[in-house]
Structure 1
Amino acid sequence: MAETIDILITLDENYLEPLHIMLTSLHVNNPAQDFTIWLIHERIPDSKLQQLNRLLAQWKMTFHEIKVPMELFSNAPTVERYPKEMYFRLASGKLLPNTVKKVVYLDPDTLIINPLNSLWDFDLNGNMLGAATHAGLTNLTEGFNNIRLGTDHGYYNSGVMLMDMEKVREIVQLEDIFKTIHEFGDYLLLPDQDILNFLYGKYIKEIPEEIWNYDTRKSNVYLTKSLGKHNSHWVAKNTVVLHYCGKPKPWDEKSNNRFTLLYAHYQQLLKRYNDLLS
C-alpha cells in the first residue's frame, strides 16, 4: 500500500458531519493506507475546515481544500434546482492541480467498510471514469433514462467514481455543461447525474455496484439477483462502499433499515475521536 490514494469530495457546509463519519469509516477500514483528501467548496467557514483538518491530522491524512473562484461559474445556470456545488466534481479537472492524475470521488452519504485500494487499482481500459449503475431487478430505469436522455448505455450513479483526471481535463468542458442545462434543463431530473450520463456516459467504464456502490435501499434486490449469495455475510466481506441513496438519510431519526445501525456505529466512533481531540 505504498501509493497514496487521492480522495475527492465536493460539498457545502450542510454535509460536513456526514463527511466526518464517512472519513472515519475510511480510516478505520484502511489503517495502513496513505490518503490525500481534496475538498472542493465555495464558502465553508475556516473554523469548520480547521476542525476537519485536525481530525484528518490525527489519522495522518493529508488535507487540501480548494475554494472555487466565483468567476468560474459566473455564467452557470444556478437556480434552486442547480446549486453551484453540483458542478464541482465535473469541473474538478480545472480545479485540482495538474499533478493529481487520478482520484476516487466519494459522496458524503457513503461508508467505506473494506479496503479501498481495489477500486483505486481498477483498470479503466482508457476510459475517463469508472462508475456503477443501479439496475434493479428488471433494469426498467435504464430504458427509461435512455429514452429521456437519448443515450444507449447504463445510467451511471455519480456518487462513487474512479476518475482519470488527465482524461477529465481533456474531455470535460464547462461550456458544454452550461449549454446542456440551458437547452434541456426542464428534462433533467437529477441535474449533475443526468449531465454526466448525457455528455460523458460513453467515456465511463462500469464497475460492479454490489462491491463499490452498494445502494443500501436495495439489499433484497441484490440478494434476489445473486440467488441468495449476496447476504449480509457476503456484503461484510466483499462490499467496499455502502451508499445511503435516497431518503431518509441514515443520520435522520426516521431512518431504520438494516444498515442504519452500522452507520450509527461509525457516528459513535467519530464521537470518540472527537473526544480525544477536545
Structure 2
Amino acid sequence: MPIDVLVTLNENYMEPLKVMLTSLHHNNLEENFRIWVIHESIGPKKMSDLKKLTDYFGWELHNEQITKNWLDKAPTIKRYPKEMYFRLLCGEILPQDVKKVIYLDPDILVINPINDLWEVDLEGNMIAAATHTGITNLTSEINKIRLGTDHEYFNSGVMLLDLEKTRANVNLEDILGVIEKHGAELLLPDQDVLNFLYGKHIKEVPEEIWNYDTRKAVSYYARSLSKHDLQWVISNTVILHFCGQPKPWNPNSDSRFTALYLHYMQLLTRLEKNFLG
C-alpha cells in the first residue's frame, strides 16, 4: 500500500517542493508514495514538470486544483492564505478512500525513512504533530496563555492526519468563527487555529525526530546534554524543517544544514538535466 503525502502550496514553492520530494525518494527507496497537491492556481507547465519527477520516481501524482469560489466566505488576505484552509480542510478535498495522510511543508528535507511516522498509533487522536519548544517549555507556556489552551503548542508543518476524524470534526464555519473572534490575536493564523480548535486532539511526536527546527540546533544539543550532535541528527532525525528566514535556497543562507539542502538541490538539477528533459 502506498504512503499518502499531502502538500498545499502556490507556484512560489514548486522548486522547494521538488527538492523535498527528491530527498523523500532518496531516503525511502523501498516505499511507494501517492503525492496529493492541493492548490488554486499552479500553472500546467509547473504541474507537468512536477509530474515528470514523480513519474521518474514511480509515484502517483494527484493534482487537486480548487475552484475559486470554494472559499468565498473566508478571508484570504496575506495573513490568511488559501493554502492555510486547504491544509486544515484537506479531508473535505481528498477522496473518501484516502483514510490518512502525512502533510509536509515544502521547506523541509526528509533524510531518513518516514514509514514510522505513517505507522504511528494515534490512540484515538485526530492528528500527530510535534512542538517546537527550545531548551525550555517557555514557548508553549506563552501560547497557552495567549490562546487560552491547556495543551502543548504544535507546529503544523509536519502532521499525520486521520482523515476520517478530520472529516467528522474539522469544518470551515468553526475556522471562520475563530478568525472573526480572535483574528487580532493570531500570530501564525493556520497554526494558531489548529492549536485553538484541535490541539486537544493531537498526539505529540518527538520534534528532534519528526520536525527538527534547523534554527534551533544549539537548543537541541543543549537539551539533550550533548547527545543530539550533528552525527546523531544525520543518523536519527527524519525531517529537517527550515523554519523562518532565510530559506536554504536563498544565497544568504549559511546555517549548518544549508550545504545538505544544496546537495539535494544539486541531485534534483542532475535528474532534470540528464533524465527528465
Same fold (TM over 0.5): yes
Aligned residue in 1 for 2:223: 225
SS of residue paired to 1:161? strand
Structure 2 matches for 1:116-265, cutoff 5 A?
A: 116-265=114-263
Aligned residue in 1 for 2:276: 277
Q: Which amino acid aligns with 2:121?
A: D
Give the distance between the partners of 1:143 and 1:230, measured in 2 at CA. 24
- How many Å apart are 1:142 and its aligned residue? 0.9
**1:55 correspondence with 2:45:** no
Give the total of aligned pairs.
276
1:54-76 deviation per Cα after TM superposition (whole angstroms, max 9, x unaligned): 11100101100101122221100
2:40 to 16, 39, 42: 42
- How many Å apart are 1:161 and its aligned residue? 0.2
Give the distance between the partners of 2:268 and 2:78, measured in 1 at CA. 32
SS of residue paired to 2:42? coil
SS of residue paired to 1:66? strand
2:6 to 4, 8, 23: 8
- How many Å apart are 1:189 and its aligned residue? 0.2
Give the distance between the partners of 2:235 and 2:54, measured in 1 at CA. 26
1:115 to 90, 113, 116: 113
Give the distance between the partners of 1:168 and 1:103, measured in 2 at CA. 11
Give the distance between the partners of 1:81 and 1:238, measured in 2 at CA. 35
After TM superposition, what 4+ stretches of structure 1 lie above 6 angstroms from structure 2?
none
- How many Å apart are 1:80 and its aligned residue? 2.3
Aligned residue in 2 for 1:68: 66
Q: Which amino acid aligns with 1:88?
A: F
CA RMSD of aligned residues (A): 0.7
8 Å CA contact retained: 1:77, 1:182: no
Give the distance between the partners of 1:202 and 1:43, measured in 2 at CA. 33
Aligned residue in 2 for 1:100: 98
Give the distance between the partners of 1:53 and 1:198, measured in 2 at CA. 36
SS of residue paired to 2:130? strand
- How many Å apart are 1:106 and its aligned residue? 0.2
1:209-263 deviation per Cα after TM superposition (whole angstroms, max 9, x unaligned): 0000000011111111111111111111111000001100000111101000000
Give the distance between the partners of 2:238 and 2:135, measured in 1 at CA. 21
- How many Å apart are 1:141 and its aligned residue? 1.1
Q: Which amino acid aligns with 2:215?
A: R
Give the distance between the partners of 1:84 and 1:197, measured in 2 at CA. 18
1:122-174 deviation per Cα after TM superposition (whole angstroms, max 9, x unaligned): 11101000000001112111111111100011100000000001001011011
Give the distance between the partners of 2:45 and 2:252, measured in 1 at CA. 30
- Provide structure 1 residue ranges, at least 5 long, that are not aligned to the other structure: none
